[in-house]
Structures are given as structure tokens and as C-alpha cells.
Amino acid sequence: MNEENITRMEAADELHEECGVFGMYDFDGGDVASTIYYGLFALQHRGQESCGIAVSETNGPKGKVTSYKGMGLVNEVFAQENLETLRGDIGVGHVRYSTAGASTRENAQPLVLNYVKGTLALAHNGNLINATELRKDLEYTGAIFQTTIDSEVIAYHIARERLKSKTVEEAVGRACRKIKGAYSLVVMSPRKLIGARDPYGFKPLCIGKRDNAYILASETCALDTIGAEYVRDVLPGETVTITPENGIVSDLSRALPKEQEARCIFEYIYFARPDSHMDGVSVYASRIKAGRFLAMDSPVDADLVVGVPESGNAAALGYSLQSGIPYGTAFVKNSYVGRTFIKPKQSSRESSVRVKLNVLKEAVDGKRIIMIDDSIVRGTTSDRIVKMLRDAGATEVHVRISSPPFLWPCYFGTDIPEREQLIAYNRTIEDIRDIIGADSLGYLGIERLGEMVDGLPICKGCFNGEYPMKPPTEDIRGDYER
């Protein structure tokens, strides 16, 4: 395999952070674009391919929406001059990693739709499993699509339902009954900010308040960044409508019995920032628990516990606290490497792993190391990190993973590939240990996942093949080899 193919596989051997959504309505009429910018900046870890902001003035010409979006990071796409053109007291923002639909500017969000009842701007996090059939139905009745993303299918259905609904929130609710899969939505109409979450609660969405403004965001860390107070989470299956006249109005008619809910466990293991809380559970605390469970269930005698940055660090601390083995730093991460960095060419000797991480030789030389990581997808990165520790003088490398082995693909917004590409498929743990070159290997037990999130109902489909809803017959997840 040539160097270019290796680096492409290295990049693919990590989970990607789906998308982040953010919405704001300032009842006092202040401009919201700069605050949305900082909210998206806090959610940058959830998507690094593209971003956008759309705003409107509720007291201005009805239905006029100003938007700006582009490819790249938030601070690359937005500058002071284009933020200043975004005048409005209500708006939505989005950061994207493509789980379905190509990585192009046309597919950047928010989507702005002009239709007979006015305008809509929509930001979506998640993945629909019936998007293909819904799209075909719309196309056969004359719809012309500008993008290849399932978010546009949602926007079209909201617009169509609006024609036979008394209110836009009723239209959002009716559209949500047609779509199946994972979604958290933030919708801006000319006078309302609406949030909606799928009945299973796959994707997070919370409500915040700052002075006389309300905020919807994927994670509470975005509320902290802009100085807003956390109000509550949008509940699975809930639609919330925010207006100056009525504040927050809730509709729970789509809710399922609590035992049927199925939050994505990888929000807690990997996706979310550790300083976020989701559905009442601290992400940091859940990772500490995962590390403690690993120490209880997969103990090993060693000199130092280290985490693979960033999501492995808290689990490594948990392992250290439980085992009594010292916690240390073994890796220096290049903070300026995002998803967009140029991969080394075939003629180059640089490894994309080494571009992102380097080992502190003084920390590991002559020591037995326990290395904690959040997951192993294909294994093409893990073996290189283990080798880097050995090259730096580690006498033993024991790998512990703060999730169970991946055995099935995900159809709900996490880019876990088909089974044949998963290192755990048709292999024993000893086989995997041998492939990555570790002295020992241990995974978090699947029975520990519920304890990790204080008993919240979760989706375990990528570990046991038992999905909360029937998966699609065709693979609609897009191309992850980029």
C-alpha cells in the first residue's frame, strides 16, 4: 500500500463529529450574528468542513433572510466585514461534517428556503434513514433540489406541510412525523425560532437564555462560551417554539415512552466536549467512569496511564484514579491540525498521525505504558501510535479502549463504515492486539454503557446490531473515504 493510501486510511480511522447547530432570538432586537459566530466556534469540534449563519430582522421586511456560508473552519469562513452584513435579531448557524451528501459549498448549512408562505432557514444535525424515498417522492411531484443532503428533504417537507397548517410549528411537527432517523433541528421563520428533536433523542439539543434572548444549541459548552445560562434540554420527540409573546411553548405529541429512547452513546464517549452536559449527564464524568470501569474490568500492572488526546484523556484519568497508577502526558497534539489539513503526498515521508501527535520521550522511556483511547475503527491509526510509544522507549504498551468493539455500521449520523472495514469484524481481541502491536488489549464491556450515563436509554447498534428502529435496506450514509 502506498503512502498516500495509508494516510487516507489514517484519516478515516477516527470517528467524525457529525454537525453542530445553534439558534438565537433576541427579544430586545439586538443583532445576533456575532453571538452565533462564537456559539459555532464553541461547537467547531462537531464539524470542520463547512459552516454558515442565516439571520433575519423580525421588525424588518417580512421574510428577508441574509446568509453567509463557506467551506472551512468558522474563523476561516467569517471575517468582521461579512459578519457586519448579517443584520438581524433572529438567526441560525451550523458547522458541518458530512455524514450524507458530498463535502461541497452547496451542501453547507443553514439552508434558506423561499416558498409561497414566506421563508425558512434550517440547520440540521443527524442522518435520516428514509431520506432517499422521501426525496424521490418530492422529485416526482416537481421538486428541484439544490443540494445532495437530507436536510433539504426536511426543509421541503416543512414548506409543504406549512401550506395545510395553521402555524409553522405545526408544519415542523407534521414534517417530523414523516422523517425517520436521527435529527436535531433549529428552524428560523420570520417571527419564530423552533427547535425539534427526534423521538429517540439520538442527537442532543439544549435551550439557553441570556438577558432577554433565547438560544438553542447542540451542546451546553456553546451556552457557556457566550455567557448564557442553561435552561433545559429539548426532550426527545419535543418541538419547542420560541417567541416574545409566549416564551417557550412545548409540544410533546411525538414523544415515545422513555424506555424506547436511544441516545447516541458516542456523544458521551467521543463527540461532545468534556465541559458539556447532555440530558443531565456530565460528559466529563461519564468518561471518568469509563476509565474507572476499564481499570476494574481490565487491570494490568504498569508505570504510567496516558490518554490519546483529546477524548482519551478523561478516561485515562479515570483509569489512574481507580488503579492508583500515575496519570501522565505522553502525547503532544498539534492544536492547529483540523480535518482540512493537506495530507502527505505519496512522495512524502510524513505520516498524518505524526503530523497530529508526537510522543514525549522523557515521559515514556523505560516505562510500562497503559494507553487509553476512545475507539478503534479500522486499526490503521492505533498500530502507528503504539509503534510511536515503543520507538520512544516504552518497554510495554497496554491498550485500553473506552468503548466496546465496533461490529456494525451506524445509520444515524456517525460514520462507522460497513462491517468488512471494521477491525473487530470476524476477529478476536487477541487478533486485534496482534495487529496493533500491543502487549495487551481491553475494551469497555457493553454492559457498562448504561452505568456510564446514569441509566439513560442509549443506542448500542454499532456494538450489537440491535438498532432502535429498522435500518435502511440500502446504505445511505455517504462516502467516508475522503
Residues that are catalytic: 19
Closest CA relative to residue 392, chosen from 423, 369, 359, 347: 359
DSSP string, 79-147: -HHHHHT---SEEEEEEE--SSS-SSGGG-S-EEEEETTEEEEEEEEEEESSHHHHHHHHHHTT---S-
The residues facing 210 across adjacent strands are 213
Residues 6+ apart with CB under 8 A from 218: 19, 20, 21, 22, 43, 46, 125, 184, 203, 204, 205, 206
* Contact criterion met (CB below 8 Å) for 83 and 97: no
Q: Is 360 exposed, middle or buried (0-12, 13-18, 19+ CB in 10 A)?
A: middle
Report the alpha-carbon distance of residue 286 to residue 477 in Å, rounded.
28
What is the per-residue burial (b if ≥16 Cβ within 10 Å, else e) of 72-88?
A: bbbeebbeeeebeebeb
Locate 205 and state its grid cell: 439539543
- Strands 90-96 and 368-373, how do they pair? unpaired
Report the alpha-carbon distance of residue 412 to residue 264 in Å, rounded.
9
Report the alpha-carbon distance of residue 108 to residue 98 in Å, rounded.
9
Q: Longest Cα pair distance anywhere in the chain, in angstroms?
A: 71
